[in-house]
Amino acid sequence: METRIYNIDGHSLALAKKIIESGGAVAFPTETVYGLGANALNDEAVRGIYAIKGRPSDNPLIVHVHKDYDLSSLVDFIPEYSKELAKAFLPGPLTMVYRSSKKVSPVVSCGLDTLAVRIPSHEGAQEFLKYVDLPIAAPSANISKHVSPVTAQHVFDDLNGRISCILDGGKCSGGIESTVLDCTGDVPCVLRSGLVTRDMIAQVAGECDEYHMVEGEKVRSPGMKYKHYSPRCMTRLYSYSDRFEALREYTECKKRGLKAYIMCDDGVAEELKINDVLKLGADESEIARNLYDKLREGEQVAEIIIAVAPLKQDGVMVGVMNRLSKACG
Ligand code: AMP
Ligand code: MG
């Protein structure tokens, strides 16, 4: 199968619609990462996504809809706090989990009685979703467990030969996957952290819990138990306070003739003064935006990426650290 990257226009949208309607999968941009979408109403189409990615079959998918889509047809009950959160943050990088009305294929939620729904803000994503006017089940458009894609080229690098159409919407502005919020209880609960932080949610909803996996207990968000986001080279992760330890390991690696790179924020890069650096940026939104891009750049040039965690660990950095420790843990 030939894989092509298309600018988003009338021609490529018509092609994408044709592929989706015939049960195929299309890669499309969002403000978080690129998604691999298929018709959420079609069992075979949804199974196709798992096959293309090599995704474990018990890791449920998020359904994406355009901003005027009638959500009430997909889910059973929308609590008041969700309506407030939607007003504050949607379209945007917040996925909400509801009781499913069972309209979409059971393959989407892997048999769970809940459904995760997201309304992306990326203009190209909205155009695509409007044009097909179907609920689109979409995980990130990468081979399972590899680093998520934030450019059309990243998608191509992973899925060349496995899909025919990649819609190109430029580099994703957010850079890490959406916040996943369980909205089935009296109080919303963060299952996966992202750019919409727990504090931001609590400010609107009054309260917000955060889920932590407990050993031996059934996980509430099956994706959490999997290894994720790994670059194809060796990795290490140091805390900010151990940054000079990281520098020592870097120097050791170089002595042994290994291609070593340090991945860190701009401040640490300046302090350590090394040549082989993957700079993540100066503030939390830059760091989130550049994380996957730099991990993918790193695996091309480095035999080992030595990452130094930023000093700041709250807000958006909770989500960044979650990915960084899965990538380099
Ligand atoms: P990905 O598509 O790779 O960004 O992963 C989607 C994430 O959403 C995974 O962590 C899933 O476990 C989570 N998710 C999707 N649907 C549900 C659901 N119905 N209940 C809980 N978590 C979900
Ligand atoms: Mg993913």
Distance (angstroms) between ligand 1 centre and the Cα of 119 equals 15
Ligand 1 site, residue 32, Cβ cutoff 6 A: no
Distance (angstroms) between ligand 2 centre and the Cα of 213 equals 18
**What distance in Å separates the CA atoms of residue 48 and residue 247, rounded to the nearest whole number?**
44
Helices (H) and strands (E) in the chain, counts: 10, 15
Which residues of the chain, if any, have pLDDT below 70?
A: 225-227
What residue has token string 């924020």?
A: 265
Ligand 1 atom 1 nearest Cα: 139
Q: Which ligand is nearest to the CA of 139?
A: 1
Ligand 1 atom 22 nearest Cα: 221
Ligand 1 atom 21 nearest Cα: 221
Ligand 1 site, residue 115, Cβ cutoff 6 A: yes
Distance (angstroms) between ligand 2 centre and the Cα of 323 equals 11
What residue has token string 């309506």?
A: 83
The structure tokens listed for 113 are: 């009685």
For residue 182, the cross-strand partners are 97, 189
What's the confidence (pLDDT) of residue 37? 98
Ligand 1 site, residue 167, Cβ cutoff 6 A: no
Say how far residue 55 (Cα) sits from the centre of its chain.
Answer: 14
Helical packing angle, 80-89 and 198-205, nearest 10°: 120
Predicted TM-score of the model (pTM): 0.96
Ligand 1 site, residue 109, Cβ cutoff 6 A: yes
Ligand 1 atom 23 nearest Cα: 221
What's the confidence (pLDDT) of residue 251? 97
- Please give the backbone phi and psi of residue 97, each rounded to the nearest 5 degrees, phi first: -100, 125
Ligand 1 site, residue 221, Cβ cutoff 6 A: yes
Distance (angstroms) between ligand 2 centre and the Cα of 148 equals 6
What's the confidence (pLDDT) of residue 36? 98
Core vs surface per residue 70-93: b (16+ CB within 10 A) or e: ebeebbeebbebbeebbeebbbbb
For residue 189, the cross-strand partners are 182, 209
The structure tokens listed for 6 are: 């298309």
Ligand 1 site, residue 114, Cβ cutoff 6 A: yes
Distance (angstroms) between ligand 2 centre and the Cα of 117 equals 15
Spatial CB neighbours of 76, under 8 Å, sequence gap ≥ 6: 98, 99, 100, 101
The structure tokens listed for 168 are: 């190109």
**What distance in Å separates the CA atoms of residue 118 and residue 174, rounded to the nearest whole number?**
15
The structure tokens listed for 132 are: 């097909």
Please report, to the nearest 10 degrees, the dihedral formed by the alpha carbons of residues 269, 274, 276, 279 taken in order: 10
Q: Which ligand is nearest to the CA of 58?
A: 1
Ligand 1 site, residue 97, Cβ cutoff 6 A: yes
Core vs surface per residue 222-259: b (16+ CB within 10 A) or e: bbbeeebbbbebebbbbebeebeebbebbeebeeeeee
For residue 274, which of 253, 290, 296 has the smallest C-alpha distance?
A: 253
Given a contact cutoff of 8 angstroms between Cβ atoms, the answer to whether 295 and 231 are in contact is: yes
Ligand 1 atom nearest 178 alpha carbon? 4
Ligand 1 atom nearest 109 alpha carbon? 19
Given a contact cutoff of 8 angstroms between Cβ atoms, the answer to whether 138 and 46 are in contact is: no
